[in-house]
Copies of this chain bind each other. A is one copy, B any other.
Amino acid sequence: MRDKDALRVAVLGCGSVGSQVVRLLTEQADDLGMRAGARLELAGVAVRRLDAPREVDVPAELLTTDAMGLVTRDDVDLVVEVIGGIEPARSLILAALENGASVVTANKALLAEDGASLFEAADKAGRDLYYEAAVAGAIPIIRPLRESLAGDTVTRVLGIVNGTTNFILDKMDSSGAGFAESLSEAQELGYAEADPTADVEGFDAAAKAAILASLAFHTRVTAADVHREGISDVTAADVRSAADMGAVVKLLAICELRETDEGPAVSARVHPAMIPRSHPLASVREAYNAVFVESEAAGRLMFYGPGAGGAPTASAVLGDLVTVARNLRAGTRGAGESAYAAHPVLPMGETLTRYHVAIDVQDRAGVLALVATTFAEHGVSIQTVRQEGRGADAQLVVVSHRATDAQLAATVAHLEEMDIVREVTSVMRVEGESE
């Protein structure tokens, strides 16, 4: 028997997230119905192959390989998109909205590449497009940024938003192992894919940084706007050097609101950075995620939890589904995206941060003074400098005050040309302190 007051849900994709969405929709039907104000009924599940093995039993008559046919059916009210990737996800979401359905998606890549056209389609259709699951899995971060902090001015977001890289860096920190060895371990344990590029080179984190920066600063930021560096060049020596100064290396998604001579501007970037062990993000271990937010009135907030996994991501999807179902029933919609502030995005060269630079130098008198002079010539002020080792092991470790990326790059290029410098062995940004 069909409940004619029910809202009908189409689920696109039945992998690790989709199967958990289907399971929870079925098992928690009574609770979800009470919370949404309407029963949520599974209308269909679009899959690539009807006979693929699945983690959940789906009645055969609900399975279809025709995703477009499913989202354009006139008895579908809500669409959950957990296929991922750009196409066919984009066409399916656009068709669903045009067909009058509200959409919940976990698709960070699509939102970071082309969120604008999706939000525009949602506005035009008068429907919701929600995506809590797209950033940091189960951790509620989209809603807090969009709604809880709507009365505040967010100035900075620092996120550990990729579990794979956090697992690898945590392993390097706790065991002293190098990158390759730690990556292998992550792969064996299922924390890293066979092809780990999207994670370790920061593509996944960059998509999330674009989404966070857009929300936090009411400005359109795409993945292409985000400066991206991965962790494959992080060495055991970098991690040890961080430990020596009471810090830990993390891959951070960093979104900042900066006052410039031309007014407010946004910086969005992903790169490994040293943060002090006393910083709340430093204690985020293994594959956990966390997002640290600084705002003018609220101060420092942190949101912590599992950043991936079928069930946690499904939890975020269903939380959105309950809200968009309530909105649909009430004939209204939630706070849509706003890009009214339209701040410019700063190029990486103008980003201001502190740097940790390790330099192998010749062991002779006056080396420190020469190196210090080089930093000064490029306008980079030194906070601390430490001399280590003797003879062939002589090393200087410099931590600078805030300088632009361009100033630092010029300093490093200059150092590398100097006779007394054998090699600049490590350059890493230092974050997590307001200056």
Binds B, one of A176-184, A301-309, A370-378, A423-431: A301-309
Binds B, one of A246-254, A292-300, A396-404, A410-418: A292-300
Q: Is A332 an interface residue (CB 8 A)?
A: yes
Determine if A312 and B330 form an interchain contact, defined as CB atoms under 8 angstroms apart: no
Say yes or no: is A24 at the interface (Cβ < 8 Å to chain B): yes
A409 an interface residue at 8 Å Cβ cutoff?
Answer: no
In angstroms, how far is the closest chain B Cβ from the Cβ of A29?
Answer: 11
Type the 1/0 row for A311-334, where 1 means its CB is closer than 8 Å to any CB of B. 110111111111100110011110
Minimum CB distance partner of A318 in chain B? B151
Query: Which stretch in A50-58, A138-146, A195-203 binds the other chain?
Result: A138-146
Question: A280: CB under 8 A from chain B?
Answer: yes
User: Which parts of A254-299 form the interface with B (CB within 8 Å)?
Assistant: 280, 283, 295-299
User: A311: which B residues are within 8 A, CB to CB?
Assistant: 296-299
**Of A31-39, A90-98, A108-116, A206-214, the one with at least 4 CB within 8 A of chain B:** A31-39
- Measured in the bound complex, the distance between the Cα atoms of B132 and A175 in whole Å is 42
Residues in B neighbouring A153, C-beta threshold 8 A: 28, 31
The interface residues of chain B lying within 8 Å CB-to-CB of A31 are 153, 218, 341
Please tell me which one of the listed residues B35, B143, B327 contacts residue A143 in the complex, with CB atoms under 8 A apart. Answer: B143
Q: Is the CB of A151 within 8 A of B332?
A: no
- Pair A306/B315 contact, Cβ less than 8 Å: no
Q: Are B24 and A319 in contact (CB under 8 A)?
A: no
Contact: A323 with B150, CB < 8 Å? yes
Q: How many residues of A contact B (CB 8 A)?
A: 59
Q: How far is the CA of A148 from the CA of B131 in the complex (A)?
A: 11
A132 and B150 alpha carbons, distance in the complex (Å): 12
Taking a contact as CB atoms under 8 Å apart, the answer to whether A35 and B144 are in contact is: no
The docked-state distance in angstroms from the alpha carbon of A301 to that of B306 is 7
Pair B338/A20 contact, Cβ less than 8 Å: no
Within 8 A of B (CB), among A142-188: 143-144, 147-153
Partner of A302, one of B305, B315, B322, B326: B305
Residues of chain B within 8 A (CB-CB) of A331 are: 332
Q: For the complex, is A335 an interface residue (Cβ under 8 Å from B)?
A: yes
Task: Type the 1/0 row for A381-410, where 1 means its CB is closer than 8 Å to any CB of B.
Answer: 000000000000000000000000000000
Rounded to whole Å, the gap between the CB of A277 and the closest CB of chain B is 11
Taking a contact as CB atoms under 8 Å apart, the answer to whether B147 and A144 are in contact is: no
Choose among B20, B28, B143 the residue that contacts A147 (Cβ–Cβ < 8 A). Answer: B143
| Complex contacts, A335 vs chain B, CB 8 Å | 35, 322-323, 326
Interface string of A321-362 (1 = CB under 8 A from B): 111001100111101001011000000000000000000000
Which chain B residues border A303 with CB–CB below 8 Å?
Answer: 301-304
CB of B24 within 8 A of CB of A151, answer yes
Contact B147 A301 (CB under 8 A): no
Contact residues in B for A295 (Cβ distance below 8 Å): 315
Name the B residues within 8 Å of A322 (CB-CB).
147, 150-151, 335
Partner of A299, one of B132, B312, B327, B338: B312
8 extra A-B contacts, CB within 8 A, seeds A24-B151, A152-B318: A31-B153, A138-B297, A152-B319, A280-B283, A304-B304, A322-B335, A326-B335, A330-B332
By Cβ-Cβ distance, the 4 closest A-B pairs, closest first, are: A151-B318, A140-B148, A138-B298, A297-B315
Name 29 interchain pairs, CB-CB below 8 A, sorted by A: A24-B297, A35-B151, A35-B338, A138-B297, A140-B143, A143-B144, A143-B147, A143-B148, A147-B323, A148-B316, A150-B318, A151-B318, A151-B320, A152-B318, A283-B283, A296-B311, A298-B305, A298-B306, A298-B311, A299-B305, A299-B309, A300-B305, A301-B305, A301-B306, A302-B302, A302-B305, A303-B304, A327-B332, A330-B333
